[in-house]
Amino acid sequence: MRYLKKNKKQKDGRDDMLSEKDCIRVFDGRNGEWLARVRVSPQHQEDVNSIDMGKRTKRKREITSLMAECIVQLSLQTCQDDAPWVLFVPLKKQPRMKLMIEKCTELGVGRMIPVVSDRSAWMVSSNNDDLDVLYGGNSDEENVFDKLELQAIEAAEQCERLSIPIITNEVSLGVQDDEANDRVWSVESLIEEWCRGWEERDVTADKRRLLVCRERGNDGTEGKVLPVIQALYDNPRVAFLVGPEGGWSPEEEAKFDSTCTKYQGKDSPVQCISLGSSVLRAETACMMAVGAWALVHDS
C-alpha cells in the first residue's frame, strides 16, 4: 500500500479527482511500474482553530487519506545509477529554465545541479535562501527547487519514464563538512573537489567523469577537447558541466586547462568536450549533451 499525495489541479482549474476503486498506474523509482487500485483509509479527526464573529473556536475536521493498493507489476525498474548528471549555471529567464528541465528529463537525465560561474547571469551565493526567487520557493520551505521538480514530474509522466530526476544543490563528492554539502559550488571549487573525490575512490565503477562543455579548444591541441560522442564511448558514468550564457571566464578556462594537463596520460576525472562548431545557448547545450549520452548508452 502507498499513500497518495493531494490531488493536483488540471490546467483548466478542475481537480484531478481520484475515487475509491479507481485503477491507476504508479511507480516509486525503485520497484518498477504497477497497476494499482485506489483505497480510502479510515477517517480520523483533528482539531482546527477558526474565528467566528471575532471569537476563536475549535472544531473537528475529518481527514481522509487515499492509498494505492498494488495489484500487478506492469514493468520492471531499470537501473538509473548510470544516468548522466547536468551541472548548469542557473538561467535568469524561467521559461527557458523550465524548457531545459523538461527536455533533459525526457532524454533521461538523472540529476540536475546548479553551480556558480564568474559570468552567471543570475548571481547566486552559497546559501539556499538566495535561490528562493529563482526557483520559486519560500524561505520557510525545506526544498527551494519545488517549481522545477514539478516540471520534471510532468515531463516524466509525459515520456513514461519510471523515475524523476533529482534537482538539488548537493553534488555528493564525499565531502564530510556539512556546510560544504549545503553550498552551491563555484566552478573552480567544484573542479578541485571533483578531482579529490575521484582520487579517493578506489573502485573505477563508482567514479563519475566530469565532462566540461567548451565552445572551442583554446589552442587547437589535439586531444585537449574531444567531440562529445567520442568522449562518451569510454565513459558510461558522466556529469556534464555546462557554462553560462556569456561563456566561461579566462580564469575558469585556465582551471580547465591546468586540470587536464595535470592528469594528461592518466585516468582523468575531468575531460573537456565539444558539442560542435556552433555557439549554443545554455539550455540547448544541456539538452544536446544529455541527448548525446542517450544515443550512445541508452539506445
| Domain stops at, among 75, 99, 115 | 75
Residue 133 pLDDT > 50: no
Q: Please give the Cα distance from 126 to 124 (Å, whole number).
A: 7
Q: Let me know if residue 80 belongs to a domain.
A: no
Structure confidence at residue 130 as a pLDDT band (50, 70, 90): very low
Higher per-residue confidence, 158 vs 288: 288
Q: Which domain holds residue 43?
A: 2-75
Amino acid letter, 26: V
What pLDDT does residue 145 have? 60
Residues 122 and 62 in one domain: no
Q: What is the pLDDT of residue 136?
A: 42
**How many Å is the Cα radius of gyration of the chain?**
23
pLDDT surpasses 60 at 125: no
Kindly report which listed range (34-43, 119-128, 275-284) carries the lowest average pLDDT score: 119-128
Least confident of 146-160, 193-207, 223-237: 193-207
Tally of structural domains, the chain: 2
Residue 288 falls inside a structural domain = yes
Cβ neighbours for 133, distance < 8 A, ≥ 6 positions apart: none
| Boundary of a domain, candidates 75, 108, 127 | 75
Which of 80, 117, 112 is CA-nearest to residue 97? Answer: 112
What's the pLDDT score for residue 298?
Answer: 76
Is the pLDDT assigned to residue 65 strictly greater than 50?
Answer: yes
Q: Are residues 163 and 64 in the same domain?
A: no
Q: What is the pLDDT of residues 46-55, one digit of tens each?
A: 555 555 555 5
| Cβ count near 248 (within 10 Å) | 23
- 545509477: which residue's cell? 81
Selected residue with higher pLDDT from 293 and 261? 293
Q: What is the mean pLDDT of the chain?
A: 76
| 181 and 251 share one domain | yes
Residue 163 lies in a domain: yes
Higher local confidence (pLDDT), 290 or 185:
290
Q: Do 23 and 89 fall within a single domain? A: no
d(CA 56, CA 141): 28
Residue 228 above 90 pLDDT?
yes
- Provide the pLDDT for residue 181: 52
From start to end of the chain, where are the E strands?
Answer: 2-3, 23-27, 33-40, 44-52, 55-63, 66-75, 85-88, 111-114, 166-167, 209-213, 225-227, 238-242, 270-274
Residues 74-105 have pLDDT tens digits of 887 777 778 999 999 888 788 888 899 999 99
Q: Of 53, 75, 97, which closes a domain?
A: 75
Do 89 and 71 share a structural domain? no
Instruction: Identify whether residues 122 and 221 lie together within a single domain.
Output: yes
Q: Between residues 3 and 271, which one has the greater pLDDT?
A: 271
Q: Do 135 and 278 reside in the same domain of the chain?
A: yes
How far apart are alpha carbons 7 and 16 in whole angstroms? 6
Q: Return the pLDDT at 177.
A: 47
